[in-house]
A and B are shown apart, each in its own frame.
Chain A
Amino acid sequence: MLWLALVFPDWPLQALFRGQKHRTPLAVEARQRMLALDAAALAQGVRPGQGLADALAVAPALLIRTQSVEAEHAALRDAAGCALRYTPQVVLEADGLLLEIAGSTRLFGGTDRLLRQLRTDLAAAGFHALTACAPTPRAARWLALAGPGQCIDDIEDLHATLAALPLRVLETSERIKALLADSGLHSVGEVMRLPRNGLAQRDASDVRRLIDQALGRHPDPRPYFEAPRYCDSRLELPVPRHDADVLLFAANRLLNACCSRLSAAHAGIEHCLLRLEHEHHPATPLTLTLGTPSRDARRMALLVREHLARIALPEAVCAVRLQATDWISLAGRSDDLFGPQAPSPDGCREACGTLVEHLRARLGRDAVYALSARADHRPECAHRVCEPGTGKTGRSPGKRPLWLLSPPQLLKLVDGHPWRDGPMQLIAGPERIESGWWDSDDTAGQCQGDALRDYFVAVGHDHARLWIYREHAPPHHWYLHGLFA
């Protein structure tokens, strides 16, 4: 067994803001006391444990948020999702993770390379962690807390290393910590040398159990994290902002975390909802539709960018929330042997779907469409707008123009002849089209019901070849319906 412990320093702060850039000092408080501070706040002299009023007196620009347990849970789930790519055995701690990586080191090319990749993944989701490896989970966590960066493979070396650790790493009550400190003890090694019965008499046998678990002499069962098949995480902005870049950055954090979880679950999503929350207005929802199931964070970020370019925000955004519920199984895809020069049919199909969704994100859903043929004699009903990729093909009964005017253009009559900036010469026709008596005029769509027309091919005075028709019913209007382009 080899356990990798991750400890997120200043977790309440990290969980809320996920490493977003900001200028003002930030702090998180719980029960009117400073809990976690960023570097800028520390530099201005604010200290953990300080009261709210004291902290504001020291640093008037300090931005203070209340600790949010839900946000911490959601952030921890996202971080665990990133870790699930490296091992299925992930344990959640209050402010960190434990990963059993003995089975994965070989696959990822050694502990160091695994760690480097994991750090990159976590950084993309906005997390920064202290790490340490040890043969037992508790020892790994203690090392990460007190001496991050260490990696101990051999259980025999554990005793000496742990003995040097300070007492603050012990997960015991404040009363026992105070008792040990009052007894003049400072390191774990000093507690190890105490007799067991003495500790038990002082109601501190817990300490001994913890040390035994860390040394691997006492069982230490841990429940493994099972990732839920949905994503719902929220990220607060330090200051409400309008700028697309800032919002995109925040959305990227959430998308990266979501996509890491998706890839660990071998799943993809077809759509997700990004809500931009405002202080006074209801949230602005952005629905990202991907067309094909995907877990490509870059693709989603591209869609977010297009949406942000299009919409007008009613107010500055104070938080971003990503909800992705319908997960679809999506097996991994092998890369193409010849790269982009000869893309596979799968890659091409995916590119086709991506293009449609990308265009729709900016231009609107109705602006991008395909046309499907329909078996109808009325020219305006011989096609219908359909979803790209679902169209049918069908040939025409006679000669049809390449451009169809919709709606048909009413032609003037001069001396009883149709006129379009000049006289026309009829060169073919008439072709009688009489159809559609079953459609009433009020049906939805473009079909205008009963059609009773005589079509002619005409040549205009500018030599344009036109497709015109004369209504059979009085008052026998002439219309221009198409152009032989």
Chain B
Amino acid sequence: MPTGHAVLDAELPGGGWPPGEMTELLTDCNGHGELSLLLPLLVRSSQNEGWLTWVSPPHMPGIPALASAGLRTPRLLIVQAGTTGERAWALRQALRSDACTAVVGWLGYVDTALLRRLQLAVRATTIPLLLFRSAGNANTASPAALRLLLSTSAPGVLRLDILKRRGRPASRPVHLSPDGSFAGTSGHPPLRRMAGSHAGASRTLALIA
């Protein structure tokens, strides 16, 4: 499933978000374009019959902004669940129901067993599961097929470190500018090295999304 950002697609095995797999987006960002990253996928998913399920979003979604981006907002189903267990339960039900085109969840602290159950649930489907978790979880193991660490270093630029992907580990971050403006190439701090990743040079990609 193409992400809608060509440079990110080139970095991801299969050329986009993996369908039928769990993707983790680890971020502490709040207002840096972390939701815009998913917008092309969500817009495309909303064209099909079925719910676009958001489990426990942190704020109220801006319906006019989503509609302006082309998302069919009546397909959006918001589920507010309190505890982590309930959120994971709601995510599993959404995945099992055959009624969703994409499932996005915001999770607090979860243990690996719960993540594994989510991973098993999403494996049985053909839709992507996208989980937002806090960046503090970057160093703990996870069964997700794709893990991205989202951070920012300059206004309007979203930096993506691919912590885990199928195949060869990624060594360079991807810089996206969600609103389409040119993202600067200079002044980025050195790449944060993850265990097991290749010690590649901190090459930076500036791109027009």
Contact = CB atoms under 8 A, between A and B. Distances in A.
B83 to A, nearest CB: 10
Given A367-B79, A388-B51, A395-B67, A405 B60 contact: yes
Interface string A65-83: 0000000000000000000
B49 A465 contact: no
A484 B29 CA distance: 11
Contacts of B78: 368-371
Name the interface size band of chain B: 35 or more
B173 interface: no
Given A369-B78, A371-B73, A484 B33 contact: yes
B50 interface: yes
A402 B81 contact: no
A401 interface: yes
A362 interface: yes
Instruction: Give the interface centre of B39, B59, B62, B98 by most chain A CB atoms within 10 Å.
Output: B62
Given A367-B81, A368-B77, A465 B62 contact: no
Contacts of A401: 31, 62, 65
Interface string A300-339: 0000000000000000000000000000000000000000
Contacts of B161: none
A484 B35 CA distance: 8
Contacts of A343: 98
B129 interface: no
Contact of B74 (A391, A399, A482): A391
Interface stretch (B14-22, B87-95, B139-147): B87-95
Contacts of B81: 363, 367
B49 A345 contact: yes
Interface stretch (A19-27, A48-56, A346-354, A447-455): A346-354
Contacts of A390: 74
B30 interface: yes
Tell me whether chain B's interface is mostly helix, strand or loop, or mixed: mixed
Nearest to B63: A383
B99 interface: yes
Nearest to B157: A463
Interface in B19-74: 29-36, 39, 49-51, 53, 57-68, 72-74
A403 B59 contact: yes
A359 B66 CA distance: 24
Instruction: Give the interface centre of B53, B68, B72 by most chain A CB atoms within 10 Å.
Output: B68
A354 B97 contact: yes
A107 interface: no
A373 B63 contact: yes
